[in-house]
């Protein structure tokens, strides 16, 4: 090679390092060997986290990106590795979380000759990512990486994919092309602000309401707009509800914050506040089926205002009176500035409207949480977890048993990304891996991953990863030996015709112990408190196997079951 050349694999490492990549999550394969060798030989600031499954690598990158404000990077081998990594990209992409997946590939000249692991990666990834490219020559590596970072961090953040054939990794690249755009090392990059005329029109409409309600999706936290939002809320004394993804837009202990609404985590008391609103302002929220309980709350005919960075979501489900196509933080800054220029700003009495609903909600919860029943009620577990965890702990929930309980009842006492779940598609097996990404991305914070035993079965191999990296995560398994969400649906919608949803109980504590994880099996409420104290105080990974009330027997905050 000449003085100004390097291999494609070396160029990839140099470009990732330039974009301030400090962690890559992934799994080795034959077609990835030149890339791994470049990571070994070169001087850079990147740590590779070896995972036990490519799905886990993508979920780790997802959790990492959510808590750092930086893109998550995952990688995997050709063929099956590319197919396994895809579920994590789908979830992150629809959750507006930027991830770059790099999957190695067979040599470009061997295509069509039936090499092992040949796969049309571009066709596989195209419908489910913001962009995909299978790099055809080593000279294209720097440009391809720049395009991937630009695409995933700008506009509505999302996922990108680069296919990296083994001969491209070995080929010659020009070191003169190794430059990057620092703006794309974090997200959202180059956020777009609101039209000033639309800002005034939205304020005019909002101030004409008698009983307005704000419903926040994940856009405020993604944009870093929490402080601006709190100022907006307090200026107007307006009532606020959130989606699950929107938790942390405002501290849930704030007097104006109602908490989560919708079919997963909402309760009748919070739904009543939505029903009573004469105007709803959605901010950074798609107003999807869960948030609106199949577009029933708010009811059609309610006045709707909408702020979102993605124009496609505005008006998709509700006629919209005024829209702001804008980054949430920039929109709130503009609204606050416009409010400061107005006289006689009305107070909507939002805190007073929220207080009775919150009081009724917590009264019901506290009665259930105090139960001494066995199997243990999920409310009892959540109440004790909230009691013992510091406010700066990070909680990650799988979408089955844990999600409705933590979204409704794990009250966030500070704004920001302290709790999250995979709400775009709700695939099982997310929390264990995403919690590892969060622990690596935000060191010094306790992390708790909550999952059902169905999810545990998807992903328990990553316990070895947690032990190898000494991650400060407590895993809590709600053990009820059933795919509970489905069984609860069979109870309420199919006259208790239970079919193919039950399985044998696993001793999750024993499994964890075999991986070297200190673990506890908890069968009665009085056993839970000492187990939590020990597990949460440990420096490395721990697991608590909680024998829990199954969902079909519980009173979970899920609207279709409550009805």
Phi–psi pair at 426, nearest 5 degrees = 70, 35
Q: How far apart are the C-alpha atoms of 248 and 253, rounded to whole Å?
A: 10
Q: What is the pLDDT of residue 152?
A: 98
- List of domains in the chain: 5-185 (3.40.50.970), 196-353 (3.40.50.1220), 370-562 (3.40.50.970)
pTM of the entire predicted model: 0.96
How would residue 563 be classed by pLDDT, with cut points 50, 70 and 90?
A: low
Residue with structure tokens 């597990």? 535
Predicted local distance difference test score (pLDDT) of residue 273: 97
Q: What is the pLDDT of residue 3?
A: 60
Residues with Cβ < 8 Å from 440, sequence gap 6 or more?
Answer: 23, 49, 60, 64, 469, 471
Residue 285 has pLDDT above 80, yes or no: yes
Cβ neighbors of 43 (< 8 A, separation 6 or more) are none
Q: Rounded to an integer, what distance in angstroms lies between the CA atom of residue 265 and that of residue 293?
A: 11
Structural Rg of the chain based on CA atoms? 24
Residues 6+ apart with CB under 8 A from 41: none
318: preceding bond cis by omega (within 30 degrees): no
pLDDT > 90: what percent of the chain?
94
Contacts 24+ apart (CB under 8 A), 526-534: 526/372, 528/376, 528/380, 528/381, 528/384, 529/384, 532/384, 532/385, 532/388, 533/388
Between 318 and 3, residue with greater pLDDT? 318
Q: pLDDT value at position 562?
A: 81
- For residue range 126-182, list pLDDT tens digits in order: 999 999 999 999 999 999 999 999 999 999 999 999 999 999 999 999 999 999 999
| Burial classification of residue 114, based on how many CB atoms lie within 10 Å of its CB (0-12 exposed, 13-18 middle, 19 or more buried) | exposed
113 vs 43, residue with greater confidence: 43
Secondary structure (3-state) at 407: helix
Report the share of the chain in percent with pLDDT over 70: 99
Residue-level pLDDT at 426 = 87
pLDDT digits (tens, 9 = 90+) for 466-495: 999 999 999 999 999 999 999 999 999 999
- Helix H segments across 416-483? 431-441, 453-459, 463-468
Is the distance from CB of 241 to CB of 380 less than 8 angstroms?
no
- The strand pairing partners of 133, in sequence order, are 162
**DSSP3 helix / strand / coil % (the chain, rounded to 5):** 45, 20, 40
Express each pLDDT in 139-155 by its tens digit. 999 999 999 999 999 99
Let me know if 563 is exposed, middle or buried by CB neighbors in 10 A (0-12, 13-18, 19+).
Answer: exposed
Q: What is the pLDDT of residue 344?
A: 86
* Predicted local confidence at residue 544, as pLDDT: 98
Q: What is the mean pLDDT of the chain?
A: 96
Length of the chain: 563
Average pLDDT over residues 253-280: 96
What is the reported pLDDT for 2?
59
Q: Examine the pLDDT at 305 and tell me if it is beyond 80.
A: yes
| Lookup: tokens for 147 | 């395009």
Structure tokens, 236: 């107007």
- 1 pLDDT band (50/70/90 cuts)? low
């Amino acid at each position: 090679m000449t003085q100004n050349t390097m291999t494609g694999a070396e160029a990839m490492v140099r470009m990732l390092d330039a974009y301030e990549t400090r962690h890559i999550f992934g799994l080795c394969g034959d077609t990835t060997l030149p890339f791994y060798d470049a990571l070994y030989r070169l001087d850079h600031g990147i740590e590779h986290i070896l995972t036990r499954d490519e799905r886990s690598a993508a979920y780790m990158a997802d959790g990492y990106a959510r808590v750092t404000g930086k893109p998550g990077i995952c990688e995997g081998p050709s063929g099956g590795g590319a197919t396994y990594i895809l579920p994590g990209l789908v979830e992150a992409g629809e959750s507006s979380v930027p991830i770059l997946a790099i999957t190695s590939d067979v040599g470009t000249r061997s295509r069509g000759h039936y090499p092992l692991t040949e796969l049309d990666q571009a066709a596989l990834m195209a419908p489910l990512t913001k962009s995909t490219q299978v790099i055809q020559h080593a000279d294209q590596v720097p440009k391809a990486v720049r395009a991937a970072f630009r695409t995933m961090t700008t506009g509505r953040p999302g996922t990108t994919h680069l296919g990296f054939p083994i001969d491209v990794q070995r080929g010659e690249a020009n070191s003169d092309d190794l430059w990057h755009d620092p703006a794309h090392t974090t997200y959202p990059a180059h956020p777009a602000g609101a039209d000033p005329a639309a800002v005034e029109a939205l304020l005019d409409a909002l101030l004409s309401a008698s009983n307005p309600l704000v419903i926040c999706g994940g856009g405020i936290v993604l944009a870093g707009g929490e402080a601006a939002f709190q100022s907006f809320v307090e200026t107007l004394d307006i009532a606020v509800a959130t989606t699950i993804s929107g938790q942390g837009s405002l501290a849930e202990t704030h007097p104006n914050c109602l908490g989560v609404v919708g079919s997963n985590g909402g309760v009748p008391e919070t739904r009543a506040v939505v029903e009573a609103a004469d105007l709803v302002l959605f901010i950074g929220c798609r107003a999807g089926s869960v948030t609106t309980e199949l577009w029933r709350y708010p009811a059609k005919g309610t006045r709707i205002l909408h702020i979102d960075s993605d124009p496609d979501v505005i008006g998709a489900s509700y006629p919209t009176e005024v829209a702001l196509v804008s980054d949430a933080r920039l929109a709130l800054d503009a609204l606050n500035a416009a409010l400061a220029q107005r006289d006689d700003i009305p107070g909507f009495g939002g805190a007073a409207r929220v207080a009775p609903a919150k009081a009724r909600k917590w009264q019901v919860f506290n009665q259930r949480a105090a139960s001494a029943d066995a199997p243990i009620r999920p409310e009892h577990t959540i109440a004790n977890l909230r009691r013992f965890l510091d406010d700066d702990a990070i909680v990650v929930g799988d979408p089955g048993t844990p999600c409705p309980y933590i979204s409704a009842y794990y009250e966030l006492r500070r704004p920001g990304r302290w709790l999250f779940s995979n709400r775009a598609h709700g695939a099982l097996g997310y929390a264990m891996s995403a919690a590892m990404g969060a622990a690596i991305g935000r060191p010094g914070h306790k992390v708790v991953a909550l999952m059902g035993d169905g999810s545990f079965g998807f992903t328990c191999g990553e316990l070895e990863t947690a032990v190898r990296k000494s991650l400060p995560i407590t895993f809590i398994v709600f053990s009820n030996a059933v795919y509970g969400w489905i069984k609860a649906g069979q109870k309420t919608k199919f006259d208790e015709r239970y079919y193919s949803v039950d399985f044998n109980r696993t001793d999750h504590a024993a499994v964890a112990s075999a991986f070297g994880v200190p673990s506890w099996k908890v069968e009665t409420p009085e056993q839970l408190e000492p187990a939590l104290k020990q597990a949460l105080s440990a420096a490395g990974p721990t697991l608590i196997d909680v024998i829990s009330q199954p969902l079909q027997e519980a009173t979970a905050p899920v609207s279709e079951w409550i009805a």
